[in-house]
Each structure stands twice: as C-alpha cells, then as structure tokens.
Chains A and B, each alone.
Chain A
Amino acid sequence: MKNVLVKSKESSINRPMILLALIALTLAAGALVGNKAYADDYPNGCVSCHVEGTGALDMRINAVLSRLGHGKAADRSKVIPAACDRCHASSGDGPASALRNLIHRAHYTDPDANLFVTQYAGSCLHCHAMDGASGKASVKSGERNWTPIVGGEPITE
C-alpha cells in the first residue's frame, strides 16, 4: 500500500513536468517550422546558390557557362541576373533568347532528375521574392561571385 502511494505521488510530480516538456518541444518545433518558412536562404538569388563549393564541382555561373561553351560575357556582368539582360532580354527582343524562359527550363526540365528540384527543393522563391504588401513578385539579384578575367589577367576592382 505504501509503495502504491509513493508511486502515485511520483506520477503526480512527473505529469506536469512531462506536460511542460511537451509544450516546450511543441513551441520549439513551431519556431523551427516558422523560421524555415520565412527565412530567406537565398537573398541574392542566382549567386546565393551558384557558389564555388568546397571540393565539389564549381557551380558559379561563370564556371557553369564556361562548361556549356557560353561566351565570355560572364566577365562583363556585375549584377546577376540583371546584367544578363544585355543579351537575354526578357522582352524577347534581345540578340539571345529571353532569360526568363531559359532559366525556367534549366531549373525545371525533367523534374525527376533535375538537381534544382531533386536536391535543392526547387522553389520559385529561391530566385523570386514576393513583396506581400504590394503583391509584386520580383527577381532577386546579387553581385557576381567570381573574379573576371580579361586578356588572361584576373581583374580586381
């Protein structure tokens, strides 16, 4: 009988502690989910994802374009992707195809195998920003993250 009473007392002490722990865990999980939903991991768009990496393939735009046989235009581009508009006007009037459709295709074609979708969660908001107050969707941008090479020499600014 004594044992039962002791056990019962322990339970009544532990129950609030367990409840508190559960509430704390729920709040922590909520905070984590909330932060994940609204924190911007890619505030500068292209250059926030396309980085040199650590030992892996160089994914900076200039390196990727070089592997694709793109011209040296990347060395003349300072703000990405705004500078690309020089040739790839989104109106479709430029000397090269509209950047918007080109970039959408590069990131969404063959979604079951496309790295943007399969490895990087492939969200529109990686590249676009939504100003909820005005309702305007925009394209994020950032300064190039490579040193341009002109005439074989790296140019430092």
Chain B
Amino acid sequence: MKDRVRVFSLAVITALLATTAPVQADEYPQGCVDCHKQEPGKTNLTLNALLAQIGHPKLPKVKKVPTSCGGCHASDEGEENQFAHMIHQIHFDVPKANLYTTRFGGDCLHCHAMDADSGEALVKSGPRNW
C-alpha cells in the first residue's frame, strides 16, 4: 500500500513539474537551422538538401540563415513575392497535412523571437549547418 502511495505521489509531482516547466524555454534559438538538420538515420532536412530537391540554385554564398537569403529574396513590405510570405506558405499551407503543424508543433516562435523589452518581433537566425 505504501508503495502505491509513493508511486502515485511521484506521478503527481512529475505531472506538476511538467506543467509548470518554463514556458519560454527556446528549443530553436537559431530558427531554421535548429529544425532543418541532418540526424543519424533520418531524412536529411538541411536546407541545402531540401532546396536541391526542388531545383533551387546552389547556395555557396549563404553563411547565415535566413539572413543571407535576403541577397535574392526581398522581404520589403509591399513586395509581391515576399520571402516572409513564401516561408509562411511553406509552413502553414494546408495545416491539417503540413508536417510543420502536424508533427513539429507549428508555432510562430520556432522561427520568430519576441524581444519583450522593445516589443519587436524578430526572425531568429544561425550559421548554415551544411
């Protein structure tokens, strides 16, 4: 009986800890490259591998992602083919079938960061991982 009480108490404490874990912990501090990576035994999801599959030109000049993408892809407000819109489309179109929303949680804060002091929403970035 004592063991059951102990197991039950442990389960309750674990559940409480899980629900009170820091809300703001950032699993993807570098944005794109934190998700798009190559893991042993899994499909290569690095951006150069994915882009090669869809016939995108090679990326010799890309050092920081997605900052370097701005060399060709404009993100100015009012631009018809904004890079921001394209990335949103890729990750949010058909949400019931889109892997980003169905398997990876599909949260804005995977790619964006909120600077609470200034109130600016930012795009995370990181060095290329290929």
Among the listed A125, A132, A136, which residue makes an inter-chain contact with B108, where contact means beta carbons less than 8 Å apart? A125
Instruction: Chain B residues near A34: list those with CB within 8 A.
Output: 96
B84 within 8 A of A: yes
Given A111-B23, A117-B24, A123-B107: A132 touches B120 (CB 8 Å cut-off):
no
**Are B108 and A124 in contact, CB atoms less than 8 angstroms apart?**
yes
Given A117-B23, A118-B23, A130-B92: A108 touches B116 (CB 8 Å cut-off):
yes
Binding site for B on A (CB under 8 A): 34, 37-38, 100-105, 108-112, 117-118, 122-125, 128, 130, 132-137
**10 extra interface residue pairs, beta carbon distance < 8 Å, beyond A101-B119, A105-B117, A117-B24:** A105-B119, A110-B116, A112-B22, A124-B107, A124-B109, A130-B92, A130-B108, A132-B94, A135-B88, A136-B85
Instruction: Chain B residues near A125: list those with CB within 8 A.
Output: 108
B51 within 8 A of A: no
Given A109-B117, A111-B23: A134 touches B109 (CB 8 Å cut-off):
no
B99 within 8 A of A: no
Q: Please, could you name 12 A-B residue pairs with CB atoms under 8 Å apart, sorted by A?
A: A37-B95, A37-B106, A100-B119, A104-B114, A105-B116, A118-B23, A124-B107, A128-B108, A130-B108, A132-B92, A132-B95, A135-B87
Instruction: Chain B residues near A137: list those with CB within 8 A.
Output: 84, 88
Binding site for A on B (CB under 8 A): 22-24, 82, 84-90, 92-96, 98, 101, 106-109, 112, 114, 116-121
Given A117-B24, A135-B88: A111 touches B108 (CB 8 Å cut-off):
no
Instruction: Chain A residues near B89: list those with CB within 8 A.
Output: 132-135
| Closest Cβ neighbor of B98 among chain A residues | A132
